[in-house]
Amino acid sequence: MAKLAEAESTSFVEWFRAAAPYIHAFRGKTFVLAFGGEAMLREDFVDLVYDINLLNALGVRLVLVHGVRPQVEERLAAEAQYVQGRRVTDADALEHVKDAVGSVRVDIESLLSVGLPNTPMAGADIRVASGNYVTAQPAGIVDGIDLQFTGEVRKIAVDPIRDRLNAGEIVLLSPLGYSPTGEVFNLTLEEVATHAAIALEADKLVFILDHGDTVDAKGHRINRVTAAQVTKLLRELPEGDMKLYLPHAAHACKKGVGKVHLISADVDGAVLMELFTHAGVGTMVTRQSVENLRPAKIDDVGGILSVIEPLEAEGILVRRSRERLEQEVEQFFVDELDGRIVGCVALYPFPETGAGEMACLAVAREFQRGGRGDALLTTVEEAAIELGLTQLFVLTTRTAHWFIERGFIQGQPEDLPAPRKALYNWQRRSKVLIKKLSV
């Protein structure tokens, strides 16, 4: 029992420490969090409210966008008519939409008002602002059918929303918009959320998926995707919220929203896992890859050590001390992903022989098999060519095939430049692999 408590406290302490950089990074940032009306019908909806409370407590400026689909459907007597995936909202349906929005909004406000002791909401004292922040216009006539009170977002009242956020309030937007002619229009939550995130220049837009998971057609998790990759991905995706939200996510990224996260409502603690852990549990959409392959700096030594130490412990890489790394850091290139070093490689030139040694090629275990090894190798090859070198060699005990598959051929210790040959460790008996560089 004591052991279990000890293990639990160790993982808690480790987790809490690991969250610190995110806590720093998120303070004062604007997040738009969108969830469907289905989310509110779930028993665990209160957990999402707790997470919203936590983000608010950490100083995140939060805009919530809710849906009302099931609540409207429940109220409608007749089945709704759809044109190109859009619901026709007649005057009667609009009354039900207004009714559902009012009721859902009050429910959300009341859940965010809880301050009971012995709950994560103790002492929360959250203020929620909602109102006529969204201006809409009619969607018009599509395929000869008048969509009536189905609308499109025309404008988001950015300054008034910012004022509320500056006052520390959470802003709650509904899928409704008001027109200057005094009419009300039915909108989709994804459209409101996307427009709000773009207009507010949000740092993050988060969609909670009610239907389906963040996986591809084969059931593999889609961890990261760039806006440019979305079109191709959409062709392969099965129907579900992922397919519904991805085009909006890509659009938001192209229009300047920092990152868009799609998270399944079925994963417990998904919002926190996605936002506060590096690997995440959902899909992150970014405009460009947030990966950066670059020459290393002295500040990267800690990050490089975290990648190579586990491999040194396994005997795959030769041990390098921190001091040695600090001295040689200028020989290194690092692969940085979201501020974390996930791979590295070093190039030691022997200009008098026209050869360069590639060493310490490593990718952190959880980031392997993503083409990063290849990218690091290409970087070193390009750097070597720039230095006027004509061949690259590498010494390895366990990764010979990886290099051979990439154009290296087996050589002998005798082929090494004299200064390197003198240091060759005959006990380790590493294989010498050589690649001619084509200029």
Ligand X SMILES: CC(C)(COP(=O)(O)OP(=O)(O)OC[C@H]1O[C@@H](n2cnc3c(N)ncnc32)[C@H](O)[C@@H]1OP(=O)(O)O)[C@@H](O)C(=O)NCCC(=O)NCCS
Query: Which residues contribute to the site for ligand X (CB under 6 A)?
Result: 311, 316-317, 359, 361-363, 368-374, 394, 396, 398-399, 401-402
Strand partners for 431: 396
Report helix, strand or coil for 358: strand
| Helices (H), ranges, 124-267 | 158-166, 189-199, 227-236, 241-254
- Give the integer Cα–Cα distance in Å for 166 and 182: 29
Q: Is the distance from CB of 45 to CB of 38 less than 8 angstroms?
A: no
Nearer residue to ligand X within complex by CB, 199 or 394 = 394
Min. distance of Cβ 289 from ligand X in angstroms? 15
Min. distance of Cβ 101 from ligand X in angstroms? 48
Nearer residue to ligand X within complex by CB, 391 or 399 = 399
Q: Is the distance from CB of 248 to CB of 187 less than 8 angstroms?
A: no
Nearer residue to ligand X within complex by CB, 179 or 306 = 306
Min. distance of Cβ 306 from ligand X in angstroms? 13
Closest residue to ligand X, judged by C-beta, is 373
Cβ-based burial of 220 (10 A; exposed 0-12, middle 13-18, buried ≥19): exposed
Name the helix (H) or strand (E) containing 170. strand 170-173
Nearer residue to ligand X within complex by CB, 194 or 396 = 396
Min. distance of Cβ 348 from ligand X in angstroms? 12
**How many helices (H) and strands (E) in the chain?**
15, 23
Min. distance of Cβ 143 from ligand X in angstroms? 47
Nearer residue to ligand X within complex by CB, 196 or 394 = 394
Min. distance of Cβ 312 from ligand X in angstroms? 10
Nearer residue to ligand X within complex by CB, 254 or 401 = 401
Nearer residue to ligand X within complex by CB, 270 or 355 = 355
**Between the CA of residue 73 and those of 93, 94, 183, 308, 313, what are the distances in Å?**
9, 12, 22, 56, 59
Min. distance of Cβ 237 from ligand X in angstroms? 23
Residues 6+ apart with CB under 8 A from 166: none
Strand partners for 262: 207, 283
